[in-house]
Amino acid sequence: MNENWIAPSILSANFAKLGEEVDNVLAAGADIVHFDVMDNHFVPNLTIGPLVCEALRKHGVTAPIDVHLMVEPVDRIVPDFAKAGASIITFHPEGSVHIDRTLQLIKNEGCKAGLVFNPGTPLHHLDYVMDKIDMILLMSVNPGFGGQSFINSALDKLREVRKRIDDSGFNIRLEIDGGVNASNIRAIKAAGADTFVAGSAIFGKPDYKKIIDELRAEMAL
């Protein structure tokens, strides 16, 4: 596995042929599959649930599936996603009354656990739970839709979280989600991210390998 992970968001894939889309993007060099779950309540959109995750596993997808829960409440859907084959489950602190309990639940179900921060959500939710976190996901758009523009304040936030992770000594991935493309990925990496969600920047293009190679080349500069 690469040190820096490219995580295509299947939100921008063609759902009529999702298995093929995921196969193609993985063959093109993606590291993990970013799976956006929206409930038309926590965010103003409705997407996919555990059945689709399970269908991808049955189709033969073996890469890690990174489930980004934009739902409220969180806890009751966690076991279903674990059974459906999720590898990582991240949730927004606003969606859970008991953050520590939800993190424990995810880990007890055998998945990696993470917290997601909206652009305006403060980082204090990390206090006291760093030891239970495998991934921190910073949103660089307001959640709900693909294809939005990167919000620049996320760069300062990335630097802050990178420092917190390094100071903690824990092994925590730092993921960025929203508006990532070849023109900003270098600055995003420099600010401390190691896991890069990209939806429209990849699925909007005719050649997935070409764009993933381009994203990696930009990061390496």
Burial of 129 (0-12, 13-18, 19+ CB in 10 A): middle
Binding letters toward ligand DX5, positions 74-113, x by CB under 6 A: ----------------------------------------
Residue with token string 């990178």: 162
21 lines the binding site for Zn ion (CB under 5 A): no
Burial of 27 (0-12, 13-18, 19+ CB in 10 A): exposed
Q: Does 75 participate in catalysis according to the annotation?
A: no
Contact between 204 and 179 (Cβ < 8 Å): no
Stretch that binds ligand DX5, among 74-82, 164-172, 173-181, 188-196 (CB under 6 A): 173-181
Determine the 3-state secondary structure of 136 from DSSP. strand
List residues bridging with 66 in a β-sheet. Answer: 34, 88
Q: Does 213 participate in catalysis according to the annotation?
A: no
177 lines the binding site for Zn ion (CB under 5 A): yes
Radius of gyration of the chain (CA): 16
Q: Which residue numbers belong to the known binding site for a divalent metal cation?
A: 34, 36, 68, 177
Q: Which residue numbers belong to the known binding site for substrate?
A: 9, 68, 144-147, 177-179, 199-200
Please report the beta strands in 75-144, taking only residues with DSSP state E, as ranges in sequence order: 88-91, 112-117, 135-139
Binding ligand DX5 (rule: CB under 6 A), the pick from 36, 134, 175, 194 is 36
Peptide bond into 73 cis (omega under 30): yes
With CB cut-offs between 5 and 8 Å by kind, which of Zn ion, ligand DX5, none does residue 180 bind? ligand DX5
Q: Which amino acid is at 118?
A: N
In the complex with ligand DX5, which residue's Cβ is closer, 104 or 151?
151
199 lines the binding site for ligand DX5 (CB under 6 A): yes
Binding ligand DX5 (rule: CB under 6 A), the pick from 29, 79, 119, 144 is 144
8 lines the binding site for ligand DX5 (CB under 6 A): no
Q: Which residues are catalytic?
A: 36, 177
Could you list the residues that contact ligand DX5 (CB under 6 A)? 9, 11-12, 34, 36, 68, 141, 143-144, 146-148, 177-180, 197-201
